[in-house]
């Protein structure tokens, strides 16, 4: 399993939200490029970046900062947030982004999702953000009445290779991750599963690693010191 340290961007700054609430935002006093370099030095291979402003507006608000992160980090970078048209997908991939994550557009524009998966294959991932059993969209501010299981079934049939699953109730709360959810999803579907939300301790990391899932995203726990990134990477490398 891979550890994916996370950078969430708002106004060009590194931030974390609590339960996806934009009014409960913590700003960390570290430049995005500095955070990215520290991840590489700790042994991370893949990094997860989200444009929170873009997730709300539907536009690539922090694209310039993200492109700088890609240039400076030397890591495989996956990016999500506000990616809702082919032009933005192409811009990020041309800039060296390894994988583009579609969220709102994947749910609301099935033809767009299918076209992007057909065109770019494994370079397209889908973010499935779960709130009260439903898929949340538009920066977690709305839901379209779609059960997450139904959406995952759709992604499986389409041939999506990588799905990032976030339990919003756990995100940023430092209260542990939803191990049962990820175990059930990883057992049922063939796509690679990345767990996101509430990964707070090395015990969380160990438990997820035993599920044989693709990755675990770690955000706030790295910034506040609850998880030492280099230790988390070592835990997942133990056979």
Distance CA 130, CA 135 (A): 5
Q: Is 153 annotated in the active site? A: no
- List the beta bridge partners of residue 6: 48
Residue of 53, 129, 143, 171 marked catalytic: 129
Residue of 8, 51, 171, 204 marked catalytic: 8
Bridge-based pairing state of the strands 192-196 and 215-218:
parallel
| Count of CB atoms situated within 10 Å of the CB of 134 | 17
Burial class of 152 by CB neighbour count within 10 A (0 to 12, 13 to 18, 19+): buried
Distance CA 168, CA 197 (A): 6
Residue with tokens 């980090």: 73
Residue with tokens 């995203």: 217
- List the beta bridge partners of residue 118: none
Q: How many residues does the chain have?
A: 239
Burial track 29-41 (b if 16+ CB lie within 10 A, e otherwise) = eebbbebbbbbee
| Secondary structure element (H or E) that encloses residue 124, with its range | strand 124-131
Distance CA 101, CA 126 (A): 5
Q: Is 94 annotated in the active site? A: no
Catalytic machinery residues: 8, 129
């Amino acid at each position: 399993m891979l550890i994916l340290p996370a950078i969430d961007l708002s106004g060009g700054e590194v931030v974390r939200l609590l339960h996806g609430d934009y009014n409960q935002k913590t700003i960390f006093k570290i430049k995005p490029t500095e955070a990215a370099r520290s991840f590489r030095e700790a042994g991370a291979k893949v990094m997860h970046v989200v444009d929170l402003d873009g997730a709300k507006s539907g536009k690539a608000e922090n694209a310039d900062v993200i492109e700088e992160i890609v240039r400076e980090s030397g890591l495989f970078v996956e990016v999500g947030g506000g990616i809702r048209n082919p032009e933005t997908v192409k811009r990020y991939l041309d800039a060296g982004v390894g994988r583009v994550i579609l969220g709102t557009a994947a749910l609301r524009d099935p033809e767009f999702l299918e076209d992007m998966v057909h065109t770019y294959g494994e370079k397209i991932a889908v973010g499935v953000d779960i709130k009260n059993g439903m898929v949340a969209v538009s920066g977690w501010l709305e839901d379209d009445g779609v059960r997450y299981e139904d959406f995952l079934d759709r992604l499986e049939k389409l041939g999506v290779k990588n799905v990032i699953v976030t339990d919003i109730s756990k995100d940023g709360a430092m209260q542990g991750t939803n191990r049962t959810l990820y175990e059930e999803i990883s057992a049922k579907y063939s796509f690679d599963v990345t767990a996101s939300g509430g990964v707070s301790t090395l015990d969380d990391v160990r438990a997820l690693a035993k599920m044989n899932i693709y990755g675990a995203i770690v955000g706030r726990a790295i910034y506040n010191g609850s998880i030492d990134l280099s230790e988390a990477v070592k835990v997942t490398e133990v056979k």
